[in-house]
Amino acid sequence: MLPFSPQRLAHGLAARIVQAGREVNFSEVSTDSRELRHGGLFVALQGDVPGERYFADALGAGALGLVGRHFDAGLRRQAARVGAWLFQVL
């Protein structure tokens, strides 16, 4: 995957930037918080268990970007502490 700026990523996903983070270009993406690389982008998939459930784990693994539908206040604070971007898709 080529590096994508947060703005380019938001445009390509038709996502709204809910919270801006530190300067980064995303070149790694994962849907599994256990396989996420530091500085990567975590995409929450919707299934039996909503992928947003793993946002905190992804941030703990070093994610600097989260893509999903819902971000509660606690997660927003945690993301702000590490400088992560939050992208909302519908």
First vs last Cα of the chain: how many Å apart? Answer: 23
- The whole-number pLDDT of residue 39 equals 93
pLDDT(1) > 90: no
What amino acid is encoded at 66 in this protein?
Answer: L
5 — pLDDT class (breaks 50, 70, 90): very high
pLDDT(80) > 90: yes
Q: What is the pLDDT of residues 17-65, one digit of tens each?
A: 999 999 999 999 999 999 999 999 999 998 898 899 999 999 999 999 9
Half-sphere exposure of 23 (CA within 13 A, CB side): 0
Task: Give the separation between CA 35 and CA 61, rounded to whole angstroms.
Answer: 9
Task: Give the separation between CA 57 and CA 89, rounded to whole angstroms.
Answer: 20
